Structure 1
Amino acid sequence: MPSTTPPIFDGHNDVLLRLHRKDAADAATQFVQGDSRGHLDLPRMQKGGFGGGFFAVFVPSPKDPTADNFTDSMQGDSYDLPLPAELDIGYAQPIALEMMGLLFQIEKESEGAFTVCRTAADIRGALERGSVAAILHIEGAETIDPEFRSLELLYQAGLRSIGPVWSRPTAFAHGVPFRFPGNPDTGPGLTDLGKELIRRCNEMGVMVDLSHLNEAGFWDVAKLSDAPLVATHSNAHALSASTRNLTDRQLAAIRESDGMVGVNFATCFLREDGQMNAQTGLDVMMRHFDHLIEHVGEDRVGFGSDFDGATIPGDIGDVAGLPVMRQAMRDHGVDDALMEKLCWGNWVRVLEKTWGG
């Protein structure tokens, strides 16, 4: 049977959104005990050797046009999905806090099997104990006020990673639409407030996630930031011409900064035809690993699954299928040393460099 080692530390999942949408008082308990829904719960994580990762807080729009028939919309030779309008902080903040509460409820109810981590040392310790190592991440900074008081509060609570946007615009930046074929150069870059957000994150040691930023925003961050450039869940544009993927020029900048890219399992960002289709072989994913390693180096590539947020290859299925992924990597020629780097070592390295220990 394929191995569950080494543990896989992952750049992105949306399980908090899935649990929040259940609107159940015992959603955290169901996750810990195993609800067998979606891609993630604690028993399946343990079964698949999921070591941990970034747990995203994403606030959906009240009438999100991408929420219904999302998969159906991403078919055919091309598509261009409309994006929702910017969210008001008064709407976004309470929902985000509820999702964060779910994360800490999971930690409490897991009795040591799930740990919210604030330092790289915390992650290493959790991996050694076999506890799932979780990072609190915000995808879309709608919860951050213009005076950044909430940023300080959330940092004290455990926030260690922020994506300034989830594709729709915020007060800080502009994201990329879900467009295929297309390139990430889709509009203006960071706002003045967004530039200040990057400075504050650098000062505090909060990682900035570039995955949903458009290209102008990417280059603004590259110019301003003194931290490694990180895209938690993005693939190679040269292989799949989605606006969400990274050009070779962007990959060169990530390499120069000693940053990181997490390979996204979403088939629309893997496939040459850009389609959401579970009938996607793992050889397609291996090509993205190869391309990214060629362009950013073997120390700067890892996983960014998008579990519970996308259609993924059917051969993996859910987090319990990660051993199939490891076996595909070994069959592709990945040796033990590189497996350790890709599965968890590279993420811990870039977080040590970003967080300062």
Structure 2
Amino acid sequence: MVLDEPTEGLDPLVQETFFELMREAAAGGRTVLLSSHVLPEVQRACGRVAIVRGCELPMAVVVAGAPPASADAGRPGDRDGRLRGTDRRRGEHDSAGPAVLREGGKGTPSAFRAFSGSTGDVSIASYPGLLGAGLVHPFWIAMQLTAIGALAAAAVAADVELGTIELLIVRPVSRNRLLAERTVALGLAALALNAAATLTVATGVALSPDIHRDVPLSGVFAAGVMGCGFALCLMGPALAVSAWGRRRAQVIGATIAIGAVGFAVNFIALAWSKAAPLRFTSPFHYCTPGDALAQGHVLWPQLGVLVGVGVLGLVAAHALLMRRDLSP
């Protein structure tokens, strides 16, 4: 049986049905030849992989942990789900997992990682990649930016612009209390947004056995924690601009600029190798829900960076508010 790009145009559920039929055919004694550029499905479905480059066959690999129906299933030592192979051009044994495949083929373009919420290990064609793409979707990001920008603008800048800040201060309400109350309100709003998104994704994963096999619920909640860290990373600078500015538009514009420019910088850094170092300046490099969904746990180094930026923003907001003249 020869199949050329058989899953192209199929939705994930139909793809799963196709793979079941293919396994049944292999179990019945048929040899199935599958041609595909989608590396995750190759690793999932095949027992042996050959890579063609320049009309030659420079590399062949054995898929560890192959499906039971494949000829190589159950081979000792092949239970870790990685690819092991030999590069015929060099005669070197390679156990670097998917990197073996990437050496012989193009794989998923690097810039696509920006859409899957991953630093590179999760394909957008996989379930974690698809769900991660939803959690970094421009619409969802725009919703968070709008909510954070609007509430941050109301923290200080709106009262200065409307001339009501003096009424608040003479109640008397200290500047520390004013900033603390507005920060808590903004934090609760961001937490509510991320909790709603996390529970929605968790419900979908729990109700779909196919997705649940690839995405543990622990990964869903880990992605939710990463989302809260991303919100805090936006909150801190937004409140700092509010404590400094005199117009609501300044705060909303700055918040949206942080999100839009950050996403663009991350995308360019992934697409253009010469700009790769710039990715470390973008919050989207550290907000990686796709990786959290796939690995099933919180990525603490990335979360630490997001939280650290947010805390620095809050410290800056406090310092600016303490020193500024609040008269309109």
Give me the TM-score of the superposition, normalised by structure 2.
Answer: 0.26
Q: Which has the higher helix share?
A: 2
Q: Which has the larger radius of gyration?
A: 2
Q: Which has the higher strand share?
A: 1
Give me the TM-score of the superposition, normalised by structure 1.
Answer: 0.24
